[in-house]
Amino acid sequence: MTVETGGETTAATRCGFVALIGAPNVGKSTLVNALVGAKVTIVSRKVQTTRALIRGIVIENNAQIILVDTPGIFLPKRRLDRAMVSTAWSGAHDADLVCVLLDAKTGIDEEAEAILAKAASVNHDKILVINKVDLVQREKLLALAQAANERMKFARTFMISAISGDGVDDIRTTLAEMVPPGPYLYPEDQMSDAPMRQLAAEITREKIYQKLHQELPYQSTVETDKWEERKDKSVRIEQTIFVERESQRKIVLGKGGATIKSIGADSRNELMQILDVPVHLFLFVKVRENWGDDPDRYREMGVEFPRE
C-alpha cells in the first residue's frame, strides 16, 4: 500500500505493540536488546529482574515495532510477585501481537504449560519463539515446536538464539509485516520509552544482581534521585539503593565499602557508554522496611499495586 503526498508517493507506515511473554530466564530481555540493537532492558541471571513494561522500539522498513518486555510469568507468592504477573498478562492483552517464548532446553515444563494454556485466551495473533536453540539437538527442537503448536494456534514459529543473534533478523522482518497500518507513535531515533533516569536505575540494579546474586534477596530496588546535566557536558547522577534490613545494607556496602564501589564503577562505565559523556555517579544505601508493601514504590516501577 502506498500513500500519495504532494505529488510524491511514499510507502504507508505500520506501527504496533508486540508483547513478549514467557517464564523467567527464557531470554525475553536478551531478545528485546537483540531486536533493537542496543541495551534498553536489563539482562540478569536472576529471575524476575524485569519489573515493569520497559519498551524497546525498532524501525524495520516502514514499520515501527514497540516491544513490550513483560516480567517473567511464574507462580506468584508475594505481593510484588502478584503485581508482576498481573502486569505481564495485561501487557499481553493490550498488545497487537504476542510472542510466546519457550526455552529450548527446558521445553514445556509446568510453567510453560500454564503459560501456553493462558496465552490461548489472548485474542491476537501469536508467534512462537523457541530460544537457546544452540543448546539442543534439531530433533528435540522439531518435537518441541510440534508439541507447542498442538496446544494452541501460532501464526508463525521461529527457532533462535537471542544471545548470538541467530534468527533474530527473521523475527524483526516478520513483526514489521504483521503490525497494523498506522503512524509512528515515537520519534524515529528513539529506542525506548523508559526515561533515562529509570534506565540508569535499572542498570545499577543489574550490577547489584551481578555482584550479589547469591547473597541478596529480591527485596531491593534502586531510585534515581538527581540527574544534573552540567556545563562541561558531564552528567551527575545520585541514586539510592533501598533494602529491607540493616543486614542487607551491610551486604551491599561490603567490607570497607568495596562492594558498593565496585557496583558504582560498573554502572558508571555502562552509563558512559550509553550517554557518550562523562558520568559522575553517587550511590547511597538505605533501609526501607517493607518497601514491597508500599503502593508508591509500585507506581514508580510502573506496575499496579495488588490490594490482596
Domain total for the chain?
Answer: 2
Quickly list DSSP for 51-111.
-S-EEEEEEETTEEEEEEEPPPP----SHHHHHHHHHHHHHHHHSSEEEEEEETTT-S-HH
Q: Where are the beta strands (DSSP E) in 132-191?
A: 156-159
**Host domain of residue 135:** 14-178
91 is in an annotated binding site: no
State whether 154 and 209 are in the same domain.
no
Whether residue 169 lies inside any domain: the answer is: yes
Above 90 in pLDDT, residue 284?
yes
Task: Report the pLDDT value the prediction gives residue 217, as an integer from 0 to 100.
Answer: 53
29 is in an annotated binding site: yes
Above 70 in pLDDT, residue 297?
no
Question: Rounded to whole angstroms, how far apart are CA atoms 176 and 59?
Answer: 8
User: C-alpha grid cell for residue 65?
Assistant: 515495532
- With beta carbons less than 8 A apart as the criterion, state whether 30 and 162 touch: yes
25 is in an annotated binding site: yes
Whether residue 183 lies inside any domain: the answer is: no
- With beta carbons less than 8 A apart as the criterion, state whether 279 and 271 touch: yes
Question: Rounded to whole angstroms, how far apart are CA atoms 246 and 169?
Answer: 47
69 is in an annotated binding site: yes
Kindly report which listed range (26-40, 101-115, 128-142, 206-220) carries the lowest average pLDDT score: 206-220
Q: What is the mean pLDDT of residues 214-242?
A: 81
Whether residue 288 lies inside any domain: the answer is: yes
Confidence of residue 118 (pLDDT cuts 50, 70, 90): confident
70 is in an annotated binding site: yes
Whether residue 296 lies inside any domain: the answer is: yes
132 is in an annotated binding site: yes
State whether 212 and 268 are in the same domain.
yes
H or E element at residue 284? strand 279-287
23 is in an annotated binding site: yes
Question: Rounded to whole angstroms, how far apart are CA atoms 19 and 93?
Answer: 9
Q: What is the mean pLDDT of residues 183-204?
A: 74
**CATH number of the domain within which 274 lies:** 3.30.300.20
Whether residue 171 lies inside any domain: the answer is: yes
State whether 144 and 43 are in the same domain.
yes
24 is in an annotated binding site: yes
122 is in an annotated binding site: no
286 is in an annotated binding site: no
134 is in an annotated binding site: yes
Return mean pLDDT, the chain: 78
28 is in an annotated binding site: yes
Whether residue 48 lies inside any domain: the answer is: yes
**CATH number of the domain within which 157 lies:** 3.40.50.300
131 is in an annotated binding site: yes
149 is in an annotated binding site: no
pLDDT in tens, 31-44: 888 998 866 554 44
